Chains A and B, each alone.
Chain A
Amino acid sequence: MVTTEMTASAAAGTEAPDPRFFGWPGEEQDTRFYRKMFFIRRFEETVLALFEERLLAGTTHAYIGQEADAVGVLEHLRASDHVFSNHRCHGHYLARTGDAFGLLAEMMGKAAGVCRGRGGSQHICAAGFKANGILGGTLPAAAGIAMAEQLRGTDNLSVVFIGDGAMGEGVVYETLNLTALWSLPLFVIMENNSWAQSTPIRMNLAGGMVLRFQAFGLPVREITTTDVREVYRVAGEEITMGREQRVPRVLIINTYRLCPHSKNDDNRPEEEVRARWETEPLRVHGARLTPAVRATVEHEVEAALREVVTRARNLP
């Protein structure tokens, strides 16, 4: 039952982002990118640890290894754009809002959580952001939001993040067809991390990934990278195109998830995972900062995160 008290305290969980997570005014872009990615990494690692500690219950799907995607893409968005994410939404949420406290409180099931404890890890809502836990099912709503912008004649974008696993769902193809047919300003980012839960992509998807989008006449770009600068550059081009021409765009980012699908469910070959740690996004981009700057950023993020965790622990 929805009560008026819930509606009145909408967005109870969101606050102004802490600059230690989100970047100081005037900060260099490369520094800010690292800061945000490190923030996401440490948040996810902290959350997994809290699960071990039994402070968090239920399930979650951490974003470790894919931080470059969220940060590189979402850096381009305005407040009036919309982001629809999926079960693995923390990275997208934190890159969009910087709201670590709201998210953590939500996962703890507290009233101070961004959805007052009703949604939990996978069902998050804030201004310009939503996530839902049914694979592929988010696409039609995201397309509808794109259609709303089209009807209003704006150049706002509706951005939707899906994974390779979602490409098994029929509604995804229905929506791609509709999106192409009506030229909806939808930006689809397909984070292909090659593994759908425990199943490698070659056992899930027949035919080609790019071909799937091209079949509908959708313009699709594919990059294979963990470099946030690369993601930022390509996403920027796509977003500019989408905004100027008010047309749908698709970006496939071949990436890798370094953590288990949810918790402790990782039966991928160890060597494969270990190799991927060599080229993970924080390593790639962190090397570009001076050690001093890097240390300062990490120190600030850790401190801020500790405060968030303490505050969250002390919630009634």
Chain B
Amino acid sequence: MNFARALGATLRHCLESDPRVIVLGEDIADPYGGAFKVTRGLSTDFPGRVRNTPVSEAAIVGLAGGLALSGFRPIVEIMFGDFLGLAFDQILNHIAKFQAMYAGQVACPVIIRTPSGGGRSYGPTHSQSLEKHFLGIPNLVVAAASLYCWPQDLFDRFLAQELPVLFIEHKLLYPLEMRVPEDGQLGDLPAVMEGSPGFPPALCVAAVPRAECAATVVAYGFAAVMALKVVESLAMEEEIFAELIVPIQLAPFDYAPVLASAARTGALITVEESVGGWAWGTEIALECNRALFGQLRRPPRVVTSERDIIPAARALESEMLINENKIRQAIRETAT
């Protein structure tokens, strides 16, 4: 089952099992079924609860805020993550603030889900990874979809909590088959899920036992898929052994698995597709540096795309974005 289908099945499960769930978005209704076909079939089977909206990101996100204040559980699709800017005020000054500034009298548990990321030559305003701009908003959960975790587990968790969530789905994940670890294995590789209470667990995977790894790599979304390939090939081809940690929740962040790993390996590499500078990895690198000062062999390495627009031309886009080679080079330089 590929990720898009798993996500569609998850939304279906949410609508079936929780009468408070409402799904809103642009062009999500049948027969179109969403720009990435995730919501196909839902508006037919749940009439009135899965609705197309006009092209008004601010209003639909704000409206979802009102629904959430009234006890519903809205799930809003922003068609491309690049459009989050249009809804920024409603997220920042309304949805993420209601519970705290009203001293806990209300909750505003909106789930905003959005396809994001580049690699399809969609150009500068349809390829960005803008989650980094939301990491600084207190009382907002920012999470990223993963091939290695069933989306249903995540949405069950979101619906059980009472916090607003921004859920980032890298668009290149949609056609890929889900790969969930089973019996301590992800394919050939030993893999475990680890996390502190209150956080969705992170995947920890390596080609060799963790004690033998020389580097900790932390990546999410599609960058995690690339990082896994790199970790595997570095093991096979160069006998450079790294442990990959794939967290779901980007903020607030569960440092425990990363610190435990970096304490063992002595080297940290973070990977994300966001443009460089003031990135997600920067915060993790700092915390690692602070907690493990003196135990790291090298300064932590934060891998990001270049600090520029994402060009539409395929060749220019691949130069600008992170790729397996850049990840490989970063790990090679930091691990050895």
Contacts and interface: CB of A to CB of B under 8 A. Distances in A.
A151 B72 contact: yes
Interface string B108-136: 00000000000000000000000000000
A137 B22 CA distance: 22
Given A141-B65, A151-B72, A125 B102 contact: yes
A148 B59 CA distance: 15
B102 A137 contact: no
A227 to B, nearest CB: 32
Most buried by A among B58, B72, B93, B104: B104
A119 B104 CA distance: 11
A282 B94 CA distance: 35
B62 interface: yes
B296 interface: no
A194 B59 CA distance: 26
A166 interface: no
Given A137-B62, A178-B53, 20 more contacts: A1-B139, A6-B103, A115-B103, A118-B100, A118-B102, A119-B101, A119-B102, A125-B98, A132-B93, A132-B97, A140-B58, A140-B63, A140-B66, A144-B74, A145-B66, A146-B66, A148-B70, A174-B56, A175-B62, A177-B59
Interface string B278-296: 0000000000000000000
B160 to A, nearest CB: 16
A171 B104 contact: no
Interface stretch (A7-15, A205-213, A272-280, A301-309): A7-15
A141 B48 CA distance: 19
A140 B104 contact: no
Interface in A110-164: 115-116, 118-119, 123, 125-126, 130, 132, 134, 137-149, 151, 158
A1 B102 contact: no
Interface string B50-71: 0001101011111111111111
Report the 10 A-B pairs with minimum CB-CB distance, sorted nearest first.
Answer: A144-B66, A140-B62, A148-B70, A6-B104, A7-B104, A125-B102, A174-B59, A174-B56, A141-B66, A144-B63
Contacts of B139: 1-2
Interface of B: 22, 48, 53-54, 56, 58-72, 74, 89-90, 93-94, 97-106, 138-139
A181 interface: yes
Nearest to B63: A144
Contact of B105 (A115, A141, A142): A115
A177 B90 contact: no
A154 B100 CA distance: 29
Contact of B104 (A2, A82, A170, A174): A2
B89 A171 contact: yes
A123 B105 CA distance: 12
Interface in A78-137: 82, 115-116, 118-119, 123, 125-126, 130, 132, 134, 137
Given A119-B103, A177-B56, A171 B67 contact: no
B44 to A, nearest CB: 19
A134 B94 contact: yes
A143 B70 CA distance: 11
Given A10-B103, A11-B105, A171 B90 contact: yes
Interface string A172-184: 0011011001000
6 contacts: A115-B102, A143-B62, A144-B69, A144-B74, A146-B66, A175-B62
Main secondary structure of the interface of B (DSSP, over half): helix
B233 to A, nearest CB: 42
Nearest to B93: A134
A138 B66 CA distance: 9
Contacts of A290: none
A115 B106 CA distance: 11
A144 B104 contact: no
Given A1-B139, A171-B90, A141 B69 contact: yes
Interface of A: 1-4, 6-12, 82, 115-116, 118-119, 123, 125-126, 130, 132, 134, 137-149, 151, 158, 170-171, 174-175, 177-178, 181
A149 B56 CA distance: 21
Contact of B62 (A11, A126, A144): A144
Contact of A178 (B63, B68, B70, B74): B63
Given A10-B103, A151-B72, A178 B56 contact: yes
Given A137-B90, A142-B66, A148-B67, A175 B59 contact: yes
B94 A144 contact: no
B102 A141 contact: no
A123 B94 CA distance: 10
A6 B101 CA distance: 10
Most buried by B among A143, A144, A177: A144
Contacts of B138: 1
A195 to B, nearest CB: 24
Nearest to B58: A171
Contacts of B90: 137, 140, 171
Contacts of A2: 99-100, 104, 139
B54 A174 contact: yes
Contacts of A142: 66
A2 B108 CA distance: 12
B65 A140 contact: yes
